[in-house]
Amino acid sequence: MSRPSVINIALAVLTLWLPRHALAADRWAIPPGQEAVLEKALAPTAAWPKGWTFTGANIDHGAIDARYRDPKGLGLGVRLQHPQYVGGPRQAGQFEIASISAELPDDVVAQIKVQLAKVPEFKWLPLHDREGDAATAEPADATGTAQAVNGVQARGDALIAANQADQLLPLLAQDKTIDCATRQHWVVGLIATQKPTLFGVANDLARQAPACPKAQQTVARWTATLGKPAQGEAILREVQQAGGDDPLVAVDLALLMRQQARCGDALAVLGKLDLAKVPGIASELARLSRIYIDCPDKAVLAAMRQRADAAQPDLIAAFIVGSILHHDGAWQESDTYLLRAEPLMKVEPREYLYRAMNAWHEGRQADAEQLVGHAATMGGTDPDVLYCRAMIFAERNTAQAIADLQAYDKAMAGTLDKTPGKQAHVSEILAELQACQGAKDLQRCRQLRQVSRFTVRWLPALVVLALGVFAVLRWRRRR
């Protein structure tokens, strides 16, 4: 048997680090089992200039850092990320070259791009909820790492990678030492495959006695995407009955109820909850506020306002009120509350997105651009960043706005967290921007397009009317 190479060791370390770093990072995780793919994509081939060696790679906050040594022994690197803005200039297949060492020659970079572009299928795991997933996914303890080292976790990962996920349950039955963290890790891996057929396996993995509440919660969240919120609700009820008093379970429960259009129930669940005690409330509020927005309730709004207007303002209530008012079109008032909530929400892009859109609606273009720019630089995968940026920059940079809306469409495809009205609006704006690309005056182009669409819509009727009038006139003349 040959000695393990440096790359193999580096990738093994990378694998061990994967769950911890990838999930806690930039809202894109790299599920395990793809080491060979990465090695193949990054290692020098015969097409490279002579003397180049690959010295390893590691994961850093959802990015892959590949390191090379040039013929003179100088260490150089390339950082790869998820191609969030698909079609961008630095995109290489399913990766985006985020940065490279300045000394790296063009031909080497081009070769890396060629190799990356050839990667047939690389899985990125979208993390819609940073803190939640990080908390639920992390093996966190020494046991998890130890299990990975002795190969159980790796064996499970290999089964997932080999499309043999159904073998996980027998593995679990055989090995009683497999802990909750490993099961949770596998559940995340199963979700990353984006195969709805594996839902049963994931559910069984999480429920197998002794039940693993964290894994169950992750599975329940998956039901939202799969369009099975009732099933998710049942799972969370089970977790609660088993004694789980995690406020995040209640939050997820409320969200699943909202998805089932049971606004009263969702608000009731939230009403019983002390939102201040929800871990990572700032991140959760971005999700939570949707319930208050989609389930308008005057009494709830009034109560929230009261708390937000108190001498010691409730910042959570302030954000919720600001969000509701934003969606009601009360831009200025919304801004007042959102500004009030900023000390709590300053790490959350949505705080700045709402304010950016408020500014845009009020005609404060410079403020809107600055705020949306701030939201965008905070990272994350919230497609609304793309949407808002497209709206705000539509007239300044139509091409970028089109790219953003296309990326938004792509990000929203297959998710259930979308409303038909907004999707139709996005499609309409996208078509409008595409038709108006290169216009001297975008506003005028939009108006002209509306007029022409109206004309085209009514043209047949106008022609029929004209022919009718003509026929009547002729008939009368003949008589």
Partner 1 sequence: MNAATRLIDYAGEVPTGLAAQMTWWSPTDAGQFGVAALGLLLALLALPRVAVTVADTLRRLPRPYRRAVLVALGLALLVRLLVPARLVLLFSGYELVERSAVLTGVHRYGAGAQVLHRLLFLFLPPDHATLILLHRVTAWLALWPLLAWFARWRPPPRALVFAALGLALLPLLVRDAATESILVPGSLWLWSGLLLLDAPPDGQRAGDHWRAMVLVAAAALTRPELLIVAPVLGLLVVRRRGVRLTWPRAGLALLFLVLVSPQLWHTVERMLQDAAQGTNRLHKLFPLGPLAVVGSFLPFWPLAFPLAWTLLALRSLWRPTEQGAWRRQLAVATYLWVFALLVDLPQTSVPRLEAPLAALWLLLGAWQLAELPPLTQRWAGALVVLTTLPTLWLFAPTNEDDAEHFTRAALAQLPTEGACLVTLHESDPPDKGKVQRAFPDYLLRPPHRTAKRYAMAQWQEAGAPQCRAGTFLLIEHRCYAIFHHPVNAPALLPICTDTLAQHAWQPVLQTSAPNHGQNEYGWYPDVPAFQLGLYRMRP
**Closer residue to partner 1 in complex, CB, 272/457:** 457
What CA–CA distance (Å, rounded) separates 78 from 39? 14
Contact region with partner 1 (CB under 8 A), list: 101-109, 209-217, 302-310, 464-472: 101-109
Assess 449 for contact with partner 1 (CB under 8 A): yes
Contact region with partner 1 (CB under 8 A), list: 62-70, 105-113, 252-260, 374-382: 105-113
x/- track of binding to partner 1 for residues 33-72 (CB under 8 A): ----------------------------------------
The torsion region of residue 73 among left (phi > 0), alpha (psi -120 to 50) and beta comes to left
Assess 111 for contact with partner 1 (CB under 8 A): yes
DSSP string, 212-233: -HHHHHHHHHHHHHHT-HHHHH
x/- track of binding to partner 1 for residues 450-479 (CB under 8 A): --x---------------------------
Assess 273 for contact with partner 1 (CB under 8 A): no
What CA–CA distance (Å, rounded) separates 30 from 24? 11
Size of residue set near partner 1 by CB under 8 A: 37
Provide long-range contacts, Cβ within 8 A and 24+ apart, for 232-239. 232/256, 233/257, 233/260, 235/203, 235/206, 235/207, 238/207, 238/211, 239/211, 239/213
Name 96's bridge partners: 81, 91
The 3-class SS string of 40-85 reads HHHCCCCCCCCCCEEEEEEEECCEEEEEEECCCCCEEEEEEECCCC
**Closer residue to partner 1 in complex, CB, 270/394:** 394
Contact region with partner 1 (CB under 8 A), list: 30-38, 85-93, 185-193, 298-306: 85-93
Assess 119 for contact with partner 1 (CB under 8 A): no
- Give how far Cα 446 sits from Cα of 7, 322, 405, 439, Å: 55, 31, 17, 9
What CA–CA distance (Å, rounded) separates 250 from 432? 42
Applying CB under 8 A, among 20, 61, 69, 90 the residue interacting with partner 1 is 90
Contact region with partner 1 (CB under 8 A), list: 51-59, 257-265, 360-368, 442-450: 442-450
Taking the complex as a whole, the smallest distance from the CB of residue 401 to partner 1 amounts, in Å, to: 11
**Footprint of partner 1 on residues 371-410 (CB under 8 A)?**
398-400, 403
Taking the complex as a whole, the smallest distance from the CB of residue 403 to partner 1 amounts, in Å, to: 8
- Give how far Cα 448 sits from Cα of 121, 221, 393, 444, Å: 44, 45, 20, 6
* Footprint of partner 1 (CB under 8 A): 88-91, 97, 99-102, 104-107, 109-111, 113-114, 398-400, 403, 434-442, 444-446, 448-449, 452
